[in-house]
């Protein structure tokens, strides 16, 4: 008897404990990557004092929550890039309301009808799409409609150790001298190695199949080569592609570059002054600038410039981050909550690009405060010259993986260049045929 009374009492306690006040606020589930840094920025709402992608975004979200108490905001932090998780959530019929997404990935979800068009949301948020940069517009428009609010443009740059370049006689008027042709690049690289004993390029070629692909895309786009004549085919085994891959193979063969390095090792090499130029992302400007300014720096002088014009025009293969809204049934209140967040996020675009990315808003790009940040005026042109793959190309991430794998084989000599490019073409075409 005593036991049954005790059990009943426990059941009553649990039942009462499980009751909570009904929250009639609209719920906004925001899903993002960029890492977890709650220990440092968990309670901070001072966006201006935050640093790094994770820190700045965390404080922006904290501030949005603090200033919008009438919205029940839930933040999901997912491991980069979080797309398998998003796909599982959508497949289970439980998508978040706002998601960070690379612009190159948007076509996959948009093409399958999994994203809501944002034209109306952007208009209601007071964001004039004409105020977006060209690169931002290209990244967010699919089939003539906006499916995302672009938040930045990211690309690769040549991060340069100016001390070593000076030793090799590759500085003029305080600026690095970059090559204007593939032959000149090899000549510079040989001269650099002879003068410094170090490799001209530092390259993160291990566990980074996208690295070589970004180089290939950049120089094919610079020559206006139409890689994707339509959404079902790639044309890759071309003389232009062979020439580009041959250049990178020669750099490897002559050891004018580091070879067996992943990204952390390559970054350590660059910061320790073990090579001349590290072609990597815009997001490393801040860390490298800090490293160069440190009192015990081994990097010496630091500069960065867009990829040199080796073929054709100035061009850069770029991507970008964006906010997307997975398709779902939503109440007017939930739609308004999304609109308010988009407006809020756009207002903080200037803070976001302290990460090193290029802004998605022209006003921020042209603002003196942006240009006053280290090296930003050197790369601002990428917001106009930066190019992406055509918006009808789906599975861009998977395609990069396939091409990267074959390029890796080509530059390391595992496969002849012709065969590697033919294999890449075949594998990508097989993939595209299945969509």
Partner 1 sequence: MTRHDRFGGFAFVLPFVGFYSFLLILPFFMGLWISLHRADLFGARKWVGLDNYVRLFGDPVFYQAMGTTFTLALLIVPALTVITLLLALALNRATRSAAIFRGLFFSSSVLSVTIVTLIWRFVLTPDAGLIAKVFTAVGLEPIPFLSHPDWTIPAIAITTIWWGLGLPMMLFLAGLQQIPQDMYEAAALDRASRWTTFFRITLPSLRRTTILVVMLQTAAQLQIFGQAQLLTSGGPSGSSRPIVLYIYEIAFGRWELGYAVAAAEVLFLLVLVLTLAQYWLSTRKEDAIR
Smallest separation (angstroms) from partner 1 to the CB of 82: 11
Q: Which stretch binds partner 1 (CB under 8 A): 55-63, 223-231, 341-349, 423-431?
A: 423-431
In this complex, which beta carbon is closest to partner 1, that of residue 40 or of residue 431? 431
In this complex, which beta carbon is closest to partner 1, that of residue 92 or of residue 372? 92
In this complex, which beta carbon is closest to partner 1, that of residue 40 or of residue 206? 206
What dihedral do alpha carbons 276, 282, 283, 287 form, nearest 10°?
Answer: 40
Per-residue tokens: 22: 């009904």
Q: How far is CA 137 from CA 107, 362, 364, 377, in A?
A: 14, 11, 15, 21
Residues 140-199 that bind partner 1 (CB under 8 A): none
The reply on whether position 401 binds partner 1 by CB under 8 A is yes
In this complex, which beta carbon is closest to partner 1, that of residue 205 or of residue 349? 205
5, burial (CB in 10 Å: exposed 0-12, middle 13-18, buried 19+): exposed
- Locate the DSSP E strands across 229-301: 277-281
Asked whether 424 and 403 are in contact (CB, 8 A), the reply is yes
Beta-bridge partners for 302: 161
Smallest separation (angstroms) from partner 1 to the CB of 301: 24
Residues 102-131 that bind partner 1 (CB under 8 A): 108, 112, 114
Contacting residue, 59, 110, 252, 261, with partner 1 by CB under 8 A? 261
CA 308 to chain centre: 20
Contacting residue, 50, 61, 77, 90, with partner 1 by CB under 8 A? 90
The reply on whether position 327 binds partner 1 by CB under 8 A is no
Which positions ≥6 away from 335 have C-beta within 8 Å?
121
CA 419 to chain centre: 30
Question: Taking Cα atoms as reference points, which of 281, 213, 222, 282 lies closest to residue 248?
Answer: 213
Binding footprint of partner 1, residue count (CB under 8 A): 37
Smallest separation (angstroms) from partner 1 to the CB of 98: 19
The reply on whether position 381 binds partner 1 by CB under 8 A is no
In this complex, which beta carbon is closest to partner 1, that of residue 170 or of residue 208? 208
- Locate the DSSP E strands across 244-371: 277-281, 302-306, 316-319, 321-324, 358-359
Residues 206-235 that bind partner 1 (CB under 8 A): 206-207, 209
The reply on whether position 363 binds partner 1 by CB under 8 A is no
Contacting residue, 246, 253, 397, 429, with partner 1 by CB under 8 A? 397
In this complex, which beta carbon is closest to partner 1, that of residue 45 or of residue 431? 431
Q: In 10 A of CB 120, how many CB atoms?
A: 13
In this complex, which beta carbon is closest to partner 1, that of residue 274 or of residue 351? 274
Beta-bridge partners for 201: 257, 277
Q: CA-to-CA distance for 387 and 106, rounded, in angstroms?
A: 15
The reply on whether position 319 binds partner 1 by CB under 8 A is no
Interacting residue ranges for partner 1, rule: CB under 8 A: 83-84, 87-88, 90-91, 108, 112, 114, 205-207, 209, 258-262, 264-265, 268-269, 395, 397-398, 401, 405-406, 408-409, 412, 414-415, 427, 430-431, 434
């Amino acid at each position: 008897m005593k036991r049954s009374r005790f059990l009943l009492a426990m059941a009553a306690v649990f039942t009462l404990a499980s009751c909570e006040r009904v929250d009639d606020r609209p719920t906004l589930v925001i899903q993002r990557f960029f890492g977890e840094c709650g220990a440092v920025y968990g309670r901070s709402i001072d966006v201006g004092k935050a640093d790094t992608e994770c820190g700045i975004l965390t404080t922006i979200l904290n501030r949005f929550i603090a200033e919008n108490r009438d919205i029940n905001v839930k933040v999901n932090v997912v491991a980069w890039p979080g797309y398998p998780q998003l796909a599982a959530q959508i497949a289970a019929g439980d998508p978040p309301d706002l998601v960070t997404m690379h612009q190159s990935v948007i076509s996959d979800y948009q093409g399958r009808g999994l994203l809501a068009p944002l034209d109306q949301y952007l208009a209601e948020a007071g964001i004039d799409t004409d105020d977006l940069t060209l690169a931002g517009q290209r990244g967010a428009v699919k089939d003539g409609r906006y499916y995302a609010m672009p938040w930045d443009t990211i690309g690769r740059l040549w991060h340069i150790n100016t001390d070593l370049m000076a030793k090799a006689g590759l500085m003029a008027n305080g600026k690095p001298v970059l090559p204007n042709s593939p032959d000149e690049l090899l000549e510079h690289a040989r001269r650099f190695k002879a003068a410094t004993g170090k490799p001209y390029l530092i390259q993160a070629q291990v566990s980074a199949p996208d690295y070589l692909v970004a180089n290939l895309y950049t120089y094919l786009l610079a020559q206006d080569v139409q890689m994707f004549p339509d959404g079902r085919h790639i044309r890759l085994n071309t003389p232009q592609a062979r020439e580009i891959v041959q250049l990178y193979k020669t750099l490897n063969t002559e050891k004018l570059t580091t070879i067996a390095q992943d990204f952390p090792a390559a970054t350590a090499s660059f910061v320790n002054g073990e090579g001349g130029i590290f072609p990597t992302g815009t997001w490393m400007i801040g860390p490298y600038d800090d490293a160069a300014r440190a009192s015990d720096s081994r990097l010496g002088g630091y500069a960065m410039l867009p990829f040199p014009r080796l073929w054709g025009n100035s061009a850069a293969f770029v991507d970008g981050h964006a906010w997307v809204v997975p398709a779902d049934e939503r109440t007017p209140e939930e739609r308004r909550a999304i609109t308010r967040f988009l407006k809020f996020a756009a207002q903080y675009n200037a803070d976001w690009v302290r990460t090193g990315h290029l802004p998605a808003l022209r006003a921020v790009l042209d603002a003196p405060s942006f240009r006053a940040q280290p090296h930003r005026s050197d790369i601002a042109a990428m917001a106009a010259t930066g190019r992406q793959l055509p918006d009808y190309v789906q599975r861009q991430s998977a395609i990069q993986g396939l091409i990267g794998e074959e390029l890796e084989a080509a530059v390391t000599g595992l496969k002849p260049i012709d065969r590697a490019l033919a294999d890449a073409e075949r594998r990508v075409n097989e993939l595209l045929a299945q969509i």
